[in-house]
Structures are given as C-alpha cells and as structure tokens.
C-alpha cells in the first residue's frame, strides 16, 4: 500500500495494521504524520474558538441595552 492508502485505512478503521507496512520506518513516519495532523487540527479549532469568543465579547461590549420598565 502507498502512503495515501495507508492513511485512509487508519482514518477509516481507527487503528494501525502492521500488515499494511513494509518497514518500521514507514510506521514511525505514519505516526509522526498523524500526530502532526492532529496538532494542526487542534490549533485550527483553537483559533476558531478564540475568534468566535472575540466576536461575542466585542458585540457585548458595543451593544446597548435598553431596560423597559413600568412607568
């Protein structure tokens, strides 16, 4: 199997099967690749969360609140 097929197998089955690899170095390269991919996804999600929170806080800080009470 080539690298792309190996990655798809791992992605679909959520496990690493040593029968799909020819060398130990291929396994370690795949593990490194998956770890790097996971870190990038975590960083991207964190950036999106920070952006959403910043937008919310900016909206709350600039929004005027009118309290309508009984006269």
- What is the model's pTM? 0.64
Which tokens is 25 given?
């170095």
pLDDT tens digit string along 30-39?
A: 999 999 999 9
pLDDT tens digit string along 15-60?
A: 888 888 888 898 899 999 999 999 999 999 999 999 999 999 988 8
CA 39-36-13 angle, to 5 degrees, is 95
Residues 6+ apart with CB under 8 A from 1: 9, 20, 21
């Amino acid at each position: 199997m080539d690298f792309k097929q190996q990655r798809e197998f791992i992605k679909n089955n959520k496990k690493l099967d040593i029968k799909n690899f020819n060398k130990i170095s291929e396994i370690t390269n795949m593990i490194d690749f998956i770890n790097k991919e996971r870190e990038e996804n975590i960083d991207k999600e964190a950036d999106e969360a920070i952006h959403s929170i910043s937008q919310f806080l900016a909206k709350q800080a600039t929004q005027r609140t009118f309290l309508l009470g009984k006269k």
